[in-house]
Structure 1
Amino acid sequence: MKRRRILYIFCLLIVLGVNIFYVEYQIFIMLVLMLVIPACSWFVYFISALGMGISMQIKNNVVLKGSKVHLMLIKKNKYNLAFVNGQIHVKYKYYHTGDEFSYTVDIKSGLGKSAGVIDIPVDYCGYIYLWVESIDMCDYLGLFHKRKKYTGLSKVYIVPEYAQADIIQTDGGYSEDMDDAVLYLKSAGDEVSELREYREGDSPRYIHWKKSSILAEDDFIIKEYDNNIYKTVFLVVDTLETGKDKRLSVMSRIYQDAYSQGIAYLEQGIICEYVGWDNSAGNIVRYNFYDNETCMKALMGIMNLKCSVSAAYKACQKLYDLDGIELSSEPIIITYKENE
């Protein structure tokens, strides 16, 4: 841009000098044209740049992983950006990991309403927000330039496809050691039907620790279960922090596993809750679901959580401490194993 202006001024001075020393009709016409053409270019540029407003429209705010986000950029009016060259810079960011990407599209000139169309491929699950960072535009001669910044945001959820999965049974429990994280799944268990005194041979996992804390040192209260009572499962979704090069793929895998396991439990007629750790609030969030649609909405709620250290462990500890919740079995921890 700067070089073009310098070159234009240099050529204009030469033609002006020739007109001074050689008064010729043809040379005078050349001088007039060198003044009028840039002036016309500036006028059209000024009209096109007036306001320079666009709106961003997204065809679908919920898309499947592996597909594309169809983004349309609409002009404020038909004359806006109609007769200029330039580019529109669009960025999008995964909220939970902070990974940021950018796209650039050429301005579509003419009197149509569209300023540009972008199809953004999305290969990872999560919640993203998109925005127009700036517009760079110039006239056709490349002598005048303008940039405008924007701040508006649009949300899109990238969700996993349905995948058939079996409920995995294991005797493992949650490990506090996050370096040895693994997908821990325990059977749902049944609701507590009554409490009784401890008997020799009772498993420690059935001890009601809160009520036992007021008894003598060697006395315990045991929880009895009724198999006929409806069952509820807590699925703790680990929003763990990992290396920058793989954190998107790790969380995408976790979201996929959480959705698959949620659907698998629903098919068994079991009510479920997703539990996640909100690090900014220092508390858990809970989303119950009872069919495929509410399961997806609950997972989208979990996608609004930022990744943090030991998120699953903190969520489990908070879950144990909540009054009014009687855990019939260990929560199901859905996390990531390094060698998977």
Structure 2
Amino acid sequence: MKKRVILYILSVIGIVILNCLYVNFEFMVMLVMVIVIPLFSYIIFSISKHGMKIFVKINNSVVSVGDNIDVRIIEGGNSLFGPPEGVLKAQIRYSNDGNTKQAEVEIGSGSMRECSLDFKPKHIGIVNIYFTELKVTDYIRFFSTTYDYNCIRKAIVFPQKKDGSFRAVDYQNEEDEFVLSFEETDNTEVLDLREFADGDSVNKIHWKLSMNSDDFIVRQYGEEVEKRNTIIVDLTKVKTDKFRDKLDLIYEAAYLLGLAYLEDGISARFVVWDGLEYDITSFDFDDEAGLEKALLEVMCIKCETDSLMHLNYVITQNSINLGQYPVLITMQDYESDIYDIINVEKDNLDRIFNIKDGAD
């Protein structure tokens, strides 16, 4: 824009000099055109930017990794000349991570203009799309006005579901409060440990022993056991370039384990450390819709350094009952006598969660 102004001023000065040195009709016409054309463009620009309206919407707010989030930007106005051209600045970032991607969307000419911002998310989580600034210009891009445009849209990126689809979850208007309320379990004694057999429930798998074995190891009980399992999700932010990839595996493992429990008729809960509340919180689910909602709440929790340390401290100090089968899903090297541990970096998730299909 500045280069155009400088070039314009130099052109006017040059034409004025030519008119002074040579009294010539052609030079006079050139001087008039150089002055009138920008003036006419400015008048149209001043009229067209009044009554201008911008609409932003997301056509697909629930997607899986790799699917396209289609953000539609529609510009309109009450002016006879139509709204001016412009550039809308956007920022895209995940709610659980501070990394930001910048983007600009150009709005072209016409009485009603529509364009799109295509974004293919590479990771699981809540995607926040902020539109921060709108800059409009006249048709010869000589005059401009910049507006602060505070607009935000959100989209959910879920793990890939088995049938490739997810129900649309209305999460933006939810005001439910989740309270940590662990249920008491019975004290049924473990009678034996044995290899996994057809018909066994994933509820009985001893995950810690199974990680170090070629076969799945299950607990043999004498009586019925408690029917709500606890899945502890470690959201510790690790300093590595592949953190987002590993976090995707955390979410995927939590979702798939929740599905495995539900297929066996077992209710469960996610337990995480919430740094904003400085306490642990839980999200119960009893069906697939509840699982998706619970996973959504987990994805809203911001990842922080030492989340697992805080979570483990609160659980041990307060002697919280985690149920009969607490499973910790983590990307860190961690040992515990309290939880069975699934390390997404080392353990084969395909092997773990294909039990129903008879995988070894």
Q: Could you state the TM-score of these two structures normalised by the residue count of structure 1?
A: 0.75
Given candidates 313, 320, 324, the residue that maps to 1:329 is 324
1:186-225 to 2 correspondence within 5 Å?
Answer: none
1:318 deviates by: 2.9
1:310 deviates by: 3.3
1:158 deviates by: 0.7
Q: 1:96 to 1:187 in 2, by over 3 A?
A: farther
Q: 1:317 to 1:229 in 2, by over 3 A?
A: same
Q: Corresponding residue for 1:268? A: 264
Q: Corresponding residue for 2:185? A: none
Q: Corresponding residue for 1:234? A: 230
Larger radius of gyration: 1
1:132 deviates by: 1.1
CA RMSD of aligned residues (A): 3.1
User: SS of the counterpart of 1:153?
Assistant: strand
Q: Corresponding residue for 1:143? A: 142
Q: 1:171 to 1:131 in 2, by over 3 A?
A: closer
In the alignment, structure 1 segments of 5+ residues that lack a partner are: 174-181, 191-224
Task: Check conservation: 2:60, 2:69, Cα contact below 8 A.
Answer: yes
> What is the alpha-carbon distance in structure 2 between the residues aligned to residue 265 and residue 158 of structure 1?
22
User: SS of the counterpart of 1:30?
Assistant: helix
> What is the alpha-carbon distance in structure 2 between the residues aligned to residue 290 and residue 308 of structure 1?
28
Note if 1:3 corresponds to 2:3.
yes
Q: Output the amino acid matched with 1:169.
A: I
1:314 deviates by: 3.0
Task: Check conservation: 1:163, 1:260, Cα contact below 8 A.
Answer: no
Instruction: Work out the number of aligned pairs and report it.
Output: 292
Q: 1:74 to 1:49 in 2, by over 3 A?
A: same
Q: Corresponding residue for 1:310? A: 306
Q: Corresponding residue for 1:210? A: none
1:81 deviates by: 9.9
Q: 1:265 to 1:88 in 2, by over 3 A?
A: same
Q: Corresponding residue for 1:122? A: 121
Q: Output the amino acid matched with 1:275.
A: V
Note if 1:91 corresponds to 2:91.
yes
User: SS of the counterpart of 2:150?
Assistant: coil
> Mean Cα displacement is larger for which, 56-65 or 253-262?
56-65
Task: Check conservation: 1:50, 1:80, Cα contact below 8 A.
Answer: no
> What is the alpha-carbon distance in structure 2 between the residues aligned to residue 255 and residue 171 of structure 1?
18
1:144-189 CA-to-partner distances (Å, cap 9, x unmatched) read 233323222222111112249x94933639xxxxxxxx9xxx9998
1:98 deviates by: 1.1
Q: Corresponding residue for 1:133? A: 132
> Mean Cα displacement is larger for which, 141-150 or 98-107?
141-150
1:80 deviates by: 10
Note if 1:157 corresponds to 2:152.
no
User: SS of the counterpart of 2:151?
Assistant: coil
Given candidates 256, 260, 282, the residue that maps to 2:252 is 256
Q: Corresponding residue for 2:62? A: 62
| Identity over aligned pairs, percent | 27
Q: 1:297 to 1:187 in 2, by over 3 A?
A: farther
Q: 1:187 to 1:52 in 2, by over 3 A?
A: farther
1:72-113 CA-to-partner distances (Å, cap 9, x unmatched) read 112253649946444222111111121211222221221115
Q: Output the amino acid matched with 1:331.
A: P
Q: Corresponding residue for 2:32? A: 32
Q: Corresponding residue for 1:108? A: 108
Q: Output the amino acid matched with 1:228.
A: E
Q: Output the amino acid matched with 2:77.
A: N
> Mean Cα displacement is larger for which, 311-320 or 62-71?
311-320
Q: 1:93 to 1:171 in 2, by over 3 A?
A: closer
1:51 deviates by: 6.1
Q: 1:81 to 1:24 in 2, by over 3 A?
A: closer
1:280 deviates by: 1.8
Task: Check conservation: 2:137, 2:143, Cα contact below 8 A.
Answer: yes
> What is the alpha-carbon distance in structure 1 between the residues aligned to residue 295 and residue 29 of structure 2?
70
Q: Output the amino acid matched with 2:208.
A: G
Given candidates 208, 213, 229, the residue that maps to 1:172 is 208
Q: 1:59 to 1:81 in 2, by over 3 A?
A: farther
Q: Whose relative contact order is higher, 1 or 2, with alpha carbons under 8 Å and at least 6 apart?
A: 1
Q: Corresponding residue for 2:281? A: 285
1:123-150 CA-to-partner distances (Å, cap 9, x unmatched) read 1101121111222333232322333232
> What is the alpha-carbon distance in structure 2 between the residues aligned to residue 81 and residue 296 of structure 1?
48
1:36-91 CA-to-partner distances (Å, cap 9, x unmatched) read 11111112222333365523211132211110111011225364994644422211
